[in-house]
Amino acid sequence: MNIAVILKQVPDTEAVVKPDPAKPGAILETDIKFILNTYDEYAVEEAVRIVEKTGGEAVGVCIGPERAEAAIRSALAMGLSRALWVSEPDAVSADVITQAKVLAAAIKTLSPGLVLCGREMIDTQEDAIASAAAQFLDMPQVLNAAKITIDGEKAVVLREVESASLEIEAKLPAVISCGKGLNEPRYPNLMSIKKAKNKEIKKLTLAELGLQAGPAKARIAALEAPAPRAKGVRVEGEVASMVAQGVDWLMKVAKVV
Amino acid sequence: MQNPLDAVIVGLAIPVSLAVFGRAAWRKLRLMKALAPSPDPIAEHPQRIRELITIFLGQRKLFQEFTPGLMHAVIFWGFCTLLLRALTLFGMVFFGFDFHLPGLAPGTLLGECYGFVKSAANAAVCVMVLLALWRRYVQRVPRLKNTGEALFVLLMILNLMLSDMVFEACLRSEGSLSLLGHAALLDHCLGILVFLAYLPSGKHMHVLSSVFNVYLRPLRRSGRLLKLDLADEKIEVFGTPHVDELSWKDGLDLYTCTECGRCNEACPAQATGKKLAPREIITAQKLCLTRESGRLLDGKAGKPEEIMPEQVTPEEIWACTTCQACEQACPVNIAHVQRINSLRRSETLMASRFPSELKRVFKGLETNANPWGLAASGRTDWAKDLELPLFKDKKDAEYLLYLGCAASFDDRARKVSRSLIALLKKAGVSFAVLGEQERCCGETARRLGEEALGQSLAEENVKLFGELGVKKILTSCPHCFNTLKNEYPDFGGNYEVIHHTQLLQELVAQGRLKPAVGVAGKLTIHDSCYLGRVNGVYAPARDLLSAVPGAQLSESPRSHDKGFCCGAGGGRFWLEEHGSRINHERVKQLCDTGAGVVATSCPYCLTMLENGAKDLGREVQIKDLAELL
Amino acid sequence: MAGILVWVETFNGELRKASREALGAGQKFADHQKVSLDAVVFNAGPAALAELGSMGLRKLFTVSGESFAKYSSEGYCAAVAEAGLKSGADVYLACASSLGRDLTGRLAAKLDAALATDVTEILWDKTPLSVRRPVYSGKLLAQTELLASCKVLSLRPNVFAPAQTRTGAVETVALTLADVKIRAQVQKAVAAAQGVLDVTEAEIIVSGGRGVGGPDGFKVIEGLAHTLNAAVGASRAAVDAGWIPYAHQVGQTGKVVSPVLYIACGISGAIQHFAGMGSSKFIVAVNIDKEAPIMAKADFAIVGDLFKVVPVLQQELAKARAK
């Protein structure tokens, strides 16, 4: 079975992100270390495992600027056999729904039996790529999979929601987004990094995909710092009073009650 | 009366023995040649000759354990002395019982002296062999492997001694030789020939190879790991997944092992019941090499046997703390630590087979240049009130204070950093830090076998230090100290590297610092493996403590080069430890000295010992030397 | 703006709290923009219908039937889109629950709409429609303009004020859809195991360390965890001492977690542990030692004996939850 894996390059979670004063809506990219989106690793690992077991190809599909090649190579080093890459600025700066359309067009060229992606992009914190792509591909979707079992023409997926685990059956081909704990992504060692240097990354243009850049559906007008995080509160003294303050804090600040 | 039959028998046996010996020895030599070239240059001959004299002739390392050391030394020296006697006996077989070597004629002073010495040697060796047998079969010393081969060797030696003594006795008493005398003479000569023929085939080969192994040891100690060539695109194999990748020096190491087990006894992992036993790792590979020798001699054709995970298991190699106690104990200078590191390299770089906890460590190092993967701001936000000058702004600072990852991120180690910085300021030392520019030195990655990552960190640091014009580096971590000092030259970085205890010692000696804190009661010192055993730095701690008011030093029996590891080295700080803990064992040893305070010089030791003390509920305080001044 | 349609979620026939908030946002939006507010609800019970009837909605689309008894992205997406068509709405609101996140992406693609998820603030009067949402793990807020003619928003729970009661009758329209293609179905639901520290992200984790003192001490931790529907974690010291299995270990040699709330009881919080939970959104620490490293790192630190504090905390939280 051929599997398409959606990839994205994002800033590392520990990176200090600051708005770029010259480009509203963008961050300053100097001194930022970029990585393959953490959740995409689970998708890549799952795809590679399935293909190792049942044959076929696991192919990456990525929208990203020139620097994204590094992330694609690390996914190739984990075992994808090749990748498709759209690097045109119109696609890179597009909103999530437009990007999903572009990805769907690229994925269609692979005729995959399964499409995997990470459950969320850690930079934009968007989780809609899977469902939007599924709509454009006319496939069913299952999001945030904790376990995937391929059973002939269907996939049996375990999905965690609030206070329950759901077992969902989806007819293949389907789009499944992968959550933490789905598997243990393999470490790309030196050998696999070397091999990945020779794997094919094919650049695709929007024109080749039969798409045209249109007006943006949404755009980030500005990036702002959130309200400064309140300094840590320390309470001492009598138990009842400390607990009362604690409960108050949990309700109002942490909002978990 | 000399019997011509003796000459015939011996005369026939000599070529047979030489043929067997020659064939086996030649095969071994060809095998060594079939292996890879050694990456270490054979230079610095004066030091090598010194070691040859002290270690080989002087049997220095064997005396680390006095009784067996003396036992072996006597046997060895006895044998050396008796070489002349052996020649004499052969001569007697062919040329009659009046034969003597030139200068050693009976009746001359030299001759009589030698006669006396030889008899003494015979007796002494007999006694020592009996002692050896006692140790193996009565005392049942744990580290000794009582194989058939070991017994054979001991009995052979005993036989040689006794046969000589019997022959001598017969000759002197009778003038001519009874049957017993002839038998003894033949026994002796044939015994030597049998021994000779057997020599290249078993562990007793150390008799021939140890002189080479001692002489040729890489003077690059395991404080400096071998630098792999990662730039060459054609190289597809990293580390030593099969015996094909061993160098001839590795092969020599394997064959020189006498299976004495001193390495096992010294190993902290062994002491706490782990599967890792350095001797068994060497033996397993030796056996593998022997099994594969046919294929290797046949131009390395065919499928090689994988050393891991069956012949040597992952559990064993990942348990190593690289403390070098094994190498310290080894009488023939086998390099266990690099051997294990080379296996870790093939596991990590080729098979991605390593404990899962390490994936985060490697990712953290790759993305954020520290094993915890924390943002670089963590290196400075705790020290804002100290207003530390940055090296990039103060390029004329004398020292780059390279704090290292532990001292920058770990809360306990940060306290030590504060104490150290306060002392430096008090003494007026000119220093600056890298701040957020500081990156891990790469030690952890290299010890764990992730050579690509370790080299990339080292190269980036060398580039940065070059741009900043760094010449002298002061560090508070012995691991950083070792890597910056001994390994960075391989990457083009040559600096004068000093550990904080060394600098503090200098400052106190110069009167620029007066120890003020003071400690009441007994103190003991825990020597850091990387500062102590690996780099030979023991004195500063002792000197500093002698200057601390009120300090009474009570040394642990396992101190200096006999120090017992805290358990964190070799990247083990990041790994889960199952079973009995190395740090617990060390804490118990240190508490046995009766000391209330343990002085350390390493952030890892500090954490490991503090945790150990807490786990065991011991009251002992663990302090860095910088905190005691 | 032409009109607003809110997708309302129910649980056991009653409105979900977060959906009330979405309706509240819908009301406010409708007021500011002076447009009508409609809603679509699936499998509503009488209580839900009654509540929805008093929110000043213009139209309420109800969907029921075999195909919609259980949630499916394709089925619900088709129904909501149909409701939207009938409603004439061009702005769709939902709460960013698991199902809300599941639906809104597909819906936006189907409608070729602009999508903003996990919205924490709506700029009520701005044109074009603008919202704020957290990005880069909440390190920055993105002020996002939705430019397409059709817009879909999912709202972060616990942020917007719930709907007010309003007068005015609502027109209830029953929707029927034929031939909905549903290719992914829930086969069964299993209630989540209590207290288990799953690698999949737990929202709240209550953790115990050396201060817990023994395996029995963990009962106190488990009690609090149960009340908060949280998972139970532990520091290495507690696991090494054998008080709790290794599966619960959080730290550099255990699991790395990033819950919304991490409550550390009797844990010193040295870097080896912190490396495993430092990215938690909120950290609460209970420790008798005010100098413990974690106290400085916690958002809320309680200096006290955990055996005295935690049971009382559990009690009070149970009371607060019941309200």
Phi/psi region, residue B333 (left: phi>0; alpha: psi -120 to 50; beta: rest), is left
Cross-strand pairs, C22: none
Task: Give B525: exposed, middle or buried? Use CB within 10 Å, 0-12, 13-18, 19+.
Answer: buried
Test A131 with C228 for CB contact under 8 angstroms: no
- Cis amide linkage into residue B309, ω under 30° from 0: yes
Q: Over B584-626, what HEC string results?
A: HHHHHHHHCCCCCEEEECCHHHHHHHHHHHHHHCCCCEEEEHH
Burial A25-61 (b: 16+ CB within 10 A, else e): bebeeeeeebbbbbbbbbbbbbbbebbeeeebebbbb
For A11, B234, B323, B531, B558, the CA distances from B563, given in Å and listed in that order, are 45, 43, 9, 11, 5
With contact defined as beta carbons under 8 Å apart, do A42 and A34 qualify?
no
Q: Beta A82-86 vs A58-63: how paired, if at all? A: parallel
With contact defined as beta carbons under 8 Å apart, do A119 and A130 qualify?
yes
φ, ψ of residue A3 in degrees (nearest 5) = -125, 135
For B243-349, CATH gives 1.10.1060.10
What single-letter DSSP state applies at residue B490?
Answer: G
CATH class, domain B4-205, is: mainly alpha
Q: What is the pTM of this model?
A: 0.90
Test B350 with A189 for CB contact under 8 angstroms: yes
pLDDT at B179: 81
With contact defined as beta carbons under 8 Å apart, do C208 and C310 qualify?
no
Q: Nearest 5 degrees, angle CA A154-CA A158-CA A163? A: 150
- How many CB atoms within 10 Å of residue C289? 12
Q: Which of B508, B541, B499 is nearest to B625 (CA)?
A: B541
Task: Please list the alpha-helical segments (H only) found in B35-145.
Answer: 45-51, 66-95, 109-137
CATH architecture of A3-203: 3-Layer(aba) Sandwich (3.40)
Test B375 with A14 for CB contact under 8 angstroms: yes
Test C109 with A101 for CB contact under 8 angstroms: yes
Q: How close are the terminal C-alpha atoms of chain B, in Å? A: 81
Residue A33 token pair: 């270390």
- pLDDT tens column, A106-143: 999 999 999 999 999 999 999 999 999 999 999 999 99
Q: Which residues of A touch C229 (CB under 8 A)?
A: 163
Domains delineated in chain C: 3-175 (3.40.50.620), 204-322 (3.40.50.1220)
What single-letter DSSP state applies at residue A180?
Answer: T
Sign of CA dihedral C33, C34, C40, C46: positive
pLDDT at A163: 66
φ, ψ of residue C158 in degrees (nearest 5) = 65, 20
Q: What is the Cα A243 distance to its own chain's centre?
A: 40
CATH architecture of B522-628: 3-Layer(aba) Sandwich (3.40)
Amino acid in the structure at residue C44? A
Q: Beta C184-191 vs A164-171: how paired, if at all? A: antiparallel
Domain ranges of chain B: 4-205, 243-349, 370-509, 522-628
Q: What is the Cα B519 distance to its own chain's centre?
A: 35
Q: Is the pLDDT of residue C201 over 90?
A: no
Q: Which of A16, A43, A38 is nearest to A29 (CA)?
A: A16
Q: Count contacts between A and B (CB, < 8 Å).
A: 40
pLDDT band at C196 (very low <50, low <70, confident <90, very high): low
Q: Which of B269, B275, B279 is nearest to B585 (CA)?
A: B269
Which residues touch B510 (CB under 8 Å, ≥6 apart)?
A: none
In the sheet where B597-600 sits, what is the strand order?
A: B552-553, B522-525, B597-600, B621-624
Task: Tell me the shortest Cα–Cα distance from A62 to chain C, in angstroms.
Answer: 19
Residue B258 token pair: 């006498």
How far is it, in rounded angstroms, from Cα C303 to Cα C214? 20
Phi/psi region, residue C321 (left: phi>0; alpha: psi -120 to 50; beta: rest), is alpha
Q: Is A233 helix (H, G, I), strand (E, B) or coil?
A: strand
Q: Which residues of A touch B349 (CB under 8 A)?
A: 189-191
pLDDT band at C193 (very low <50, low <70, confident <90, very high): low
Q: Which residue has the higher pLDDT, B39 or C151?
A: C151
How far is it, in rounded angstroms, from Cα C255 to Cα C233? 9
pLDDT at B286: 94
- Cis amide linkage into residue A11, ω under 30° from 0: no
Test C140 with A223 for CB contact under 8 angstroms: yes
Test A143 with C101 for CB contact under 8 angstroms: yes
pLDDT at B473: 97
With contact defined as beta carbons under 8 Å apart, do C222 and C106 qualify?
no
pLDDT at C70: 87
pLDDT at B2: 63
Which residues touch B575 (CB under 8 Å, ≥6 apart)?
A: B318, B355, B357, B358, C253
How far is it, in rounded angstroms, from Cα B131 to Cα B75? 11
Choose the closest CB to B375 out of A16, A186, A187. A16
* Averaged pLDDT for residues C28-54: 92
* Averaged pLDDT for residues C135-154: 93
With contact defined as beta carbons under 8 Å apart, do C148 and C129 qualify?
no
Task: Tell me the shortest Cα–Cα distance from C141 to chain B, in angstroms.
Answer: 20
Q: Which of C269, C273, C267, C260 is nearest to C286 (CA)?
A: C267
φ, ψ of residue B343 in degrees (nearest 5) = -70, -40
Choose the closest CB to C106 out of A123, A135, A243. A135
With contact defined as beta carbons under 8 Å apart, do C299 and C282 qualify?
yes
pLDDT band at C11 (very low <50, low <70, confident <90, very high): confident
What proportions of chain B, in percent to the nearest 5, are helix, strand and coil? 60, 5, 35
Test A189 with B349 for CB contact under 8 angstroms: yes
Touching partners of C (3+ C-beta pairs < 8 Å)? A, B
With contact defined as beta carbons under 8 Å apart, do C75 and C43 qualify?
no
Residue B579 token pair: 């079973």
How far is it, in rounded angstroms, from Cα B481 to Cα B473? 9
Choose the closest CB to B576 out of C241, C253, C271. C253
Same CATH topology for B370-509 and B522-628: the answer is yes
pLDDT along chain B (629 residues), means of 10: 78 92 91 87 83 88 91 91 89 85 83 88 94 94 90 92 89 73 88 90 82 79 84 90 93 91 96 96 95 90 92 96 94 93 96 92 95 91 93 92 94 94 95 95 96 96 96 96 95 96 95 84 94 94 88 92 95 92 96 94 96 92 92
pLDDT at B221: 62
Q: CATH 3.40.50.620 in chain A, residues? A: 3-203
Amino acid in the structure at residue C97? S
Cross-strand pairs, B624: B600
Choose the closest CB to A33 out of B351, B367, B377. B367
Q: Is C256 on the interface with B (CB under 8 A)?
A: yes
- Cis amide linkage into residue A173, ω under 30° from 0: yes
Test B373 with C241 for CB contact under 8 angstroms: no
